[in-house]
Structure 1
Amino acid sequence: MSLSAHLKIRFVAAGTEPAQAALAELVARYGQVSRDVAEVIVALGGDGLMLQTLHERAGLPIYGMNCGTIGFLMNDYAVEGLHARVAAAEEAVLNPLAMRAGTEDGQVHDALAINDVSLLRAGPQAAKLRISVNGVVRMDELVCDGAIVCTPAGSTAYNYSAHGPILPIGSDVLALTAVAAFRPRRWRGAIVPKSATVRFDVLEPEKRPVMADADGRSVRPVLWVETRSEPTISHRILFETGHGLGERLMREQFV
C-alpha cells in the first residue's frame, strides 16, 4: 500500500447495534471525513456490508472490521492504531462479474457481482438450463435447482456450499457449479477462463420458472442470462498484513 499514516478515513456501518456502537467509538477517536475527500473507507459490519460498500465505492480501498456474524472479507475489530494498520494493509484487487439477464417482458437487466451470479429455480419444479461458453453449447440440458458462476473471491461462499471448488486469488478462471444437479446426475460443474462469456438459456420457462441473482440483486423470471468478468472495474479490499485474501482462501481448504 502507498497510503500515508495520516489517512482521510470515511467510516460506514451496518444498522446493527454492535456496528453502530463501533461507528460512534471510531468517529469519536478518529473523526469523520466526507465522501468526496476520503482516501479509504472503513466498513463496520459483516460481509454483506462489505459487498454493498464495494459496489457503492468502486475504486476506493475498503478496510473492513467485523462487527457482524460472517466476516470472511473483514479484519478483526480493534480501535487502537487504526491509521497504521490501514496504511500497512495488503491490498487485493478484484474484478466483478457482469450479469445481463433477459426477462419474459422483453426487458434486459444489467448488474454486477463481486462474489457470484446464480440462477435458481423459482417454482416447485427443477430448472432446465442450456449452458453455452463463448457461443458454443457445452450442455444441452442441465436439470437442477440452480447454477452458479463465481469469482475466486466468491468461491468460498455459495459456490463452496454447493460443493464447488475454492479458486486461488489472482487465478484467471471462474467456477461454474451446479446446485443439486439431477441430470446429468452428480455433475458438479466446470472451470472456465476468466475471459469467457457463460450463457444460460432457460428451457420450459413457464413450467419451470427461474430467477437470477447478482450479489443480492435479483431478476425474475428470466429467459436467459449471460455473465462474464468485467476487467474495466476494479474493487480494492484491504487486509491485515499476513492475513490477505490469498491466505484466507488457502486456510479455508484445510479446515
Structure 2
Amino acid sequence: MRLADIENSGNAIGLASRLDSSKAISVTKDLSSFLCEKKIKVAPESRIANILGMPGRSLHEMAADQVPAIACVGGDGTILRVAQKLPFKNPPAILGVNVGAVGFLAEFDVNTRDSFNQLLSTNLIEERCMRLSCHVDNQDYYPPALNEILVITSRPSKALSITIHVDKQVYSTGYLDGVIITTPTGSTAYSLSAGGAIMAPEVDAIQLVPVCPFVRTGFKPIVIPASSTIEIELLRPKLNAIVAVDGQNEYTINSATTKRITIRKSPSGISFLRTQASRASFFSRLNKKLLPGAKFPVPKYDQPEE
C-alpha cells in the first residue's frame, strides 16, 4: 500500500492524535494540511476535528472500506486507545507517528514536509497482529486487547488466590497479585517488565505471566498456542479482582458471584503499516528502543495520555 494511492480511490486517511501534547497536535495539524494539499481526503477523529476545523467522525465509524488507514499521532498509548475503539470488523490499518518517549508501536518519526512526502510515496506493507477477547461467565464481554489483559487484585495489600485452566486442564493454583495474558505485540510491554519473554511478531501464541506470585506458588511464565482457551477461577469470594484491557479500561469483578474469566484469541485482529525495512528488522527496533543498550528521552513531566 502507498498512502498516495488513496487519493485515486476516493477513500480517506483517518487522523487521531494525543490531545494533551502540544507537539502531537502540531504534527497532526501539519499532517492534515499536507494531505489536503495533496488532494487526499482526511477523516479526523471527532475529538481532534474541532481543533483542525474540520468535520469529524467517531473511531468506530472508520471501517477499512472507506478509511483504509489511520495515522495515530502520539505514542504507544495513543495507538492502544485508538485500536480499542476502531470497528471490530474490518478496522483500518494503523500508521503510528511517534511523538512520545519510546514509540515501539508508533515507529514513524515524521514531523516535516520532507518526511511527509517520503512517507506518502513509501511502499508500506501490513503487519497483522492478533488480539485477545475476554468475557466473564459468558455474559460480560470486554473490548479486544492488542497488548494484554491483566487480572489483578482490587486491594494492593491482598493477594488473589486463583486457578488457571488452559484448554480445561489445570495449569496452576496459588497466590499472586495478578496475571498478565499477553499477545506477541504486548510481550514488549507490561509483560516484559513482569519477567515475561519477548515474542517475535510472527509467533502465533499467547503468554501467561504471573505478577508477584507467592514464592511457593507454582506459577511461572508460560507460552501456549494461540488456539488455547484460558479460564481463570477466582477462589477468594471476599476479594474482588480487576480486569484491565490494554491499560485503557478497568472492570471490577465480583469474586463472590463470578465463576470464570475466559480469555482467548479474538477473531478481530489489527494491522500496522510498516516499511519493508522495519518489518524485517524487528530485532533492530528492539535493540534501538527497548533492550539494555537503548537510549530514549524521558520527558521531565511525562504523563500517560488523558
After TM superposition, the score normalised by the length of structure 2 is 0.73
Query: Quick check: 1:101–1:219 contact (8 Å CA) kept in 2?
Result: no
Higher relative contact order (CA 8 A, sep 6+): 1
Higher strand share: 1
Show the counterpart of 2:202: 170
Deviates more, 1:61-70 or 1:84-93: 84-93
- Structure 2 vs 1, CA of residues 250 and 20 (structure 1 numbering), >3 Å: closer, same or farther? closer
- Counterparts of 2:285 and 2:186, CA distance in 1: 10
Show the counterpart of 2:23: 18
Deviates more, 1:112-121 or 1:75-84: 75-84
Query: Quick check: 1:146–1:179 contact (8 Å CA) kept in 2?
Result: yes
- Partner amino acid, structure 2, of 1:47: D
Structure 2 SS opposite 1:28 = helix
Show the counterpart of 1:155: 187
Q: Which digits, 9 at most, give the CA deviation of each residue in 1:94-127, with x for residues without a partner?
A: 121001124xxx9623331000111111112111
- Quote the offset at 1:185 in angstroms: 4.5
Query: Quick check: 2:84–2:143 contact (8 Å CA) kept in 1?
Result: no
Deviates more, 1:193-202 or 1:31-40: 31-40
- Counterparts of 1:248 and 1:180, CA distance in 2: 31
Query: Quick check: 2:80–2:146 contact (8 Å CA) kept in 1?
Result: yes
Query: Aligned Cα RMSD in Å?
Result: 2.4
Query: Quick check: 1:5–1:84 contact (8 Å CA) kept in 2?
Result: no
Query: Quick check: 2:110–2:116 contact (8 Å CA) kept in 1?
Result: no
- Partner amino acid, structure 2, of 1:33: V
Show the counterpart of 2:104: 72
Deviates more, 1:220-229 or 1:241-250: 241-250
- How many residues end up aligned between the 2 structures? 248
1:214-253 aligned at under 5 Å gives the runs 214-215=245-246, 216-222=248-254, 223=258, 224-230=260-266, 232-244=267-279, 246-247=282-283, 250-251=286-287, 252=290
- Structure 2 vs 1, CA of residues 249 and 190 (structure 1 numbering), >3 Å: closer, same or farther? farther
- Counterparts of 2:81 and 2:34, CA distance in 1: 25
1:1-255 aligned at under 5 Å gives the runs 2-3=1-2, 5-7=4-6, 8-15=12-19, 16-31=21-36, 32-34=41-43, 35=62, 37-58=66-87, 59-74=91-106, 75-79=108-112, 80-82=114-116, 84-85=118-119, 87-102=122-137, 108-123=140-155, 124-139=157-172, 141-185=173-217, 187-206=219-238, 208-215=239-246, 216-222=248-254, 223=258, 224-230=260-266, 232-244=267-279, 246-247=282-283, 250-251=286-287, 252=290, 255=293
- Partner amino acid, structure 1, of 2:13: I
Identify unmatched segments of 5+ residues in structure 1: none
Higher helix share: 2
- Quote the offset at 1:40 in angstroms: 1.6
Q: Which digits, 9 at most, give the CA deviation of each residue in 1:115-158, with x for residues without a partner?
A: 0111111112111111100111221x221111011000000101
Query: Quick check: 1:40–1:63 contact (8 Å CA) kept in 2?
Result: yes
- Partner amino acid, structure 1, of 2:81: Q
After TM superposition, the score normalised by the length of structure 1 is 0.87
Identity within the alignment, %: 22
- Structure 2 vs 1, CA of residues 253 and 175 (structure 1 numbering), >3 Å: closer, same or farther? farther
- Counterparts of 2:194 and 2:226, CA distance in 1: 20
Query: Quick check: 2:24–2:99 contact (8 Å CA) kept in 1?
Result: yes
Query: Quick check: 2:27–2:111 contact (8 Å CA) kept in 1?
Result: no
Deviates more, 1:35-44 or 1:61-70: 35-44
Identify unmatched segments of 5+ residues in structure 2: 7-11, 44-61, 294-306
